[in-house]
Chains A and B, each alone.
Chain A
């Protein structure tokens, strides 16, 4: 389990490391062979991509390797970047594809997909999630760091598709449209998947026996 170093300034998709205009200029310069521009471009996103990878694969070494792999692919495929999306979104898509491929290879599907199932399955699981008693919330009883550690463990246990949508939404702080573009799914699917992912995460954090409370 990786405990992140205390650094509150990690950039996110929402707080992009480079302004759009600057980024466009850097991409153009990099495509024109400007090595310094390429370096600045990669360094601007290096940390954000690393955190996305880290939360996806939950292993620091693998995350570093995937990040480097992503950056190399970005250099190799920069010519194919058409500018339809922001460079950061495109880079995140490359990283996310790498992470998902990595996870498939590791066979880390620890949790059955909540996307599958019969109609109404979400309602059943929602009912299962409601706590039976009125015990104090876990976050009120433990240190925030311990809560975060548990949360990362729970996140690592989610289905990769669900993990991806939470990582992009809560850690990389993308909006729905960016998530849809990154994962190449419909915006409506983003919402439903995010709902199920949040629910699954909550269940992992606070497992409750199935019951018919609601």
Chain B
């Protein structure tokens, strides 16, 4: 090949990474062929001009606008939610015709599927909600605890919920035999879990003596310390049972140091990093950014467990879509509790379609099983569940407890 046509030689010359021998070769070619020299000079000139070009100033506040748009979208109702997620320019161009077309197709399909399902399913007196076991000593106040105990029996895990800002808990467990990171909290005013599972968050104090930590798995000491430090609890004991091994973090591309940054549910990212299919318990117990000042309990439904599947082949780079189902413990709030409203709407809708009497509203402590978010709902996995930002009408599968 004529060296004047050698891409590596020319690009190497432009990028300045030629060996001395090759640089001398280029120099000789330049001197021998002025046209070749002119080409090189032109290429270098283009490069230099672009690299020295001043940058353009973007319109003010693009980042702020993006964040404001996202926050606004969380406050809008379901119908506007999809549109609100789009940037302003896109929103102006949003066409109603495709929405109507695809919406109509979806509605027809949904009605057809609903009719088919109803034709093959036996009638149920309470098709969606099953009462929690009412054993000896069961009462309203203790109902959530009873339900949690039942779930614990079913799923070999403790569950938790938040009743106020000082009482939240989470316990995470991956699939059977997988790593477990446990963080439990006192359930204020309801019942006390076993002492070994308790964390008194009402006594948050950095000066408190560090809790005793039992690490039964391969979690590095530093990570255990990080966990306890971030948890900021004065608990007498935190159990880290069969914790994830460092290589599990690495395999999932997560860094242990980044996994413990949320003192609300510090273990959630850990479980997620440890293995796909991780289940998070108590995730819905907080609502907000995750910072203590913005954290508050969500009445209505508290996640009892979730099955998470990460879609590694998501179209967008670096993105992972989370598809999961969750079982929940119903903890009634007041009349404006958005989750309670959503459940009532859903139950009434189902009753209307089946011409059956409306089923009874869930009672405190009832288990709601197998709630599945719509594919379009992709809540951030390591953020507290946001009922206002969730399309509850599409969380369609409420199945009886077996």
- Could you tell me which A residues sit within 8 Å of B by CB distance? 2, 4-11, 24, 27-29, 31-35, 38-39, 42-43, 46-48, 50-51, 54, 60-61, 63-65, 67-69, 71-73, 75-84, 90, 93-94, 97, 122-123, 126-127, 129-132, 134, 137-139, 144, 147-148, 151, 155, 166, 170-171, 173, 184, 191-192, 194-196, 198-199, 201-202, 205-206, 213-214
B236-276 vs A, Cβ < 8 Å mask (1 yes, 0 no): 00000000000000001111011001101000010000000
B2 touches A123 (CB 8 A): yes
Residue of B nearest to A77 (CB): B319
A75 touches B318 (CB 8 A): no
The 8 Å CB contact of B34, one of A32, A126, A134, is A134
Chain A nearest CB: distance from B273 CB in Å?
A: 9
Does any Cβ of A come within 8 Å of B290's Cβ?
Answer: yes
Q: How far is the CA of A71 from the CA of B51 in the complex (A)?
A: 25
Size of B's binding interface in residues, CB under 8 A: 72
B318 touches A2 (CB 8 A): no
Given A65-B90, A205-B46; A28-B257 close (CB under 8 Å): yes
Given A33-B288, A50-B56; A79-B381 close (CB under 8 Å): yes
B39 touches A80 (CB 8 A): no
Chain A nearest CB: distance from B397 CB in Å?
A: 24
Chain A residues within 8 Å of B69, by CB: 68, 72
Q: How far is the CA of A5 from the CA of B56 in the complex (A)?
A: 5
29 contacts between A and B (CB under 8 A): A7-B54, A8-B54, A10-B54, A10-B55, A35-B289, A39-B63, A51-B55, A51-B58, A65-B90, A68-B66, A68-B87, A68-B88, A68-B89, A77-B316, A78-B380, A79-B381, A83-B253, A84-B253, A90-B318, A94-B318, A97-B317, A122-B5, A122-B7, A126-B5, A137-B38, A137-B42, A139-B49, A147-B49, A170-B51
B289 touches A34 (CB 8 A): yes
Residue of A nearest to B17 (CB): A176
Of residues 1 through 33 on chain B, the ones whose CB sits less than 8 Å from some CB of chain A are 1-2, 4-5, 7-8, 10-11, 14, 33
B47 touches A7 (CB 8 A): no
A131 touches B39 (CB 8 A): yes
B57 touches A130 (CB 8 A): no
The 8 Å CB contact of B253, one of A76, A82, A97, A139, is A82
B43 touches A24 (CB 8 A): no
Chain B residues within 8 Å of A137, by CB: 38, 41-42, 45
B46 touches A151 (CB 8 A): yes
Chain A residues within 8 Å of B35, by CB: 130-132, 134, 213-214
B85 touches A33 (CB 8 A): no
Top 9 closest A-B pairs, CB basis? A10-B55, A33-B290, A82-B253, A33-B289, A4-B56, A50-B58, A42-B63, A80-B320, A123-B5
Besides the known contacts A33-B383, A67-B62, 4 further A-B residue pairs in the complex with CB atoms under 8 A apart: A6-B54, A33-B291, A122-B7, A170-B47
Chain B residues within 8 Å of A122, by CB: 5, 7
Given A5-B57, A94-B316; A198-B46 close (CB under 8 Å): yes
Q: How far is the CA of A29 from the CA of B46 in the complex (A)?
A: 41
Residue of A nearest to B58 (CB): A50
Q: Which has the most chain A C-beta neighbours within 10 Å: B39, B45, B66, B383?
A: B66
A32 touches B262 (CB 8 A): yes
Given A42-B67, A195-B7; A32-B261 close (CB under 8 Å): yes
Q: How far is the CA of A183 from the CA of B63 in the complex (A)?
A: 24
Chain A residues within 8 Å of B381, by CB: 79
Q: Which has the most chain A C-beta neighbours within 10 Å: B57, B59, B64, B318?
A: B318
B289 touches A198 (CB 8 A): no
Chain A nearest CB: distance from B183 CB in Å?
A: 15
Does any Cβ of A come within 8 Å of B314's Cβ?
Answer: yes
B90 touches A69 (CB 8 A): yes
A73 touches B316 (CB 8 A): yes
Q: How far is the CA of A47 from the CA of B54 in the complex (A)?
A: 12
Residue of B nearest to A60 (CB): B56
Chain B residues within 8 Å of A214, by CB: 2, 4-5, 33, 35-36
Does any Cβ of A come within 8 Å of B361's Cβ?
Answer: no
Q: How far is the CA of A61 from the CA of B56 in the complex (A)?
A: 12
B53 touches A171 (CB 8 A): yes
Chain B residues within 8 Å of A84, by CB: 253
Q: How far is the CA of A201 from the CA of B261 in the complex (A)?
A: 47
Chain A residues within 8 Å of B45, by CB: 137, 139
A51 touches B90 (CB 8 A): no
Residue of B nearest to A134 (CB): B34
The 8 Å CB contact of B55, one of A7, A196, A206, is A7
Chain A nearest CB: distance from B244 CB in Å?
A: 15
Chain A residues within 8 Å of B56, by CB: 2, 4-5, 7, 10, 50-51, 54, 60
Chain B nearest CB: distance from A74 CB in Å?
A: 8
Of residues 62 through 87 on chain B, the ones whose CB sits less than 8 Å from some CB of chain A are 62-67, 69-70, 85, 87
Q: How far is the CA of A4 from the CA of B57 in the complex (A)?
A: 7
Chain A residues within 8 Å of B88, by CB: 65, 68
Residue of B nearest to A206 (CB): B42
Q: How far is the CA of A31 from the CA of B45 in the complex (A)?
A: 43
Chain B residues within 8 Å of A77, by CB: 316, 318-320
Q: How far is the CA of A184 from the CA of B43 in the complex (A)?
A: 25
Q: How far is the CA of A76 from the CA of B2 in the complex (A)?
A: 51
